[in-house]
Amino acid sequence: MAAPKEPPSAFVHALHPARDGHAILLLIGGRIERDDAARLGDLVRDLLDGADANLAICDVGMVDQPDAGIVDLLCRIRLVTRRLGLGLEIRGASTDLRDLLFLTGLCDVIGVAPRSGVELEG
């Protein structure tokens, strides 16, 4: 019998999009546990501090099973970007993550990009 498949480990990778030299793209994915939030938040702070950017774009489309862990991480990222004077844009948020941010009252604070209108419902 095969062992149950483990969810992918939490990660954050930083890229500088070619079309906008003043933005930094943070790819966030895997299963973000509450214990991961502090470590990944520190990593994001280190990636953004001193970066030649005025906007942090967080692509959360690869987050597995969004829950309080990713909400905690996004709150930490929001604090870091405010302290550094950077804008923040969240892209690729699943319906579940949007619902979590709405239920916690953080949609406007975090700044989730609006839905495109082409997502499947149901």
- Is the pLDDT confidence value at 108 over 50? yes
Domain annotation for the chain: domains and CATH numbers? 12-110 (3.30.750.24)
Distance CA 42, CA 12 (A): 11
The count of C-alpha atoms lying within 13 angstroms of the C-alpha of 39, restricted to the half-sphere facing its C-beta, is 10
pLDDT tens for residues 36-56? 999 999 999 999 998 888 999
Q: Would you tell me how many other CB atoms lie within 10 Å of the CB of residue 42?
A: 12
User: Is the pTM for the entire model greater than 0.75?
Assistant: yes
What's the pLDDT at 68? 94
- Is the pLDDT confidence value at 120 over 80? no
- Is the pLDDT confidence value at 104 over 70? yes
pLDDT tens for residues 58-92? 999 999 999 999 999 999 999 999 999 999 999 99
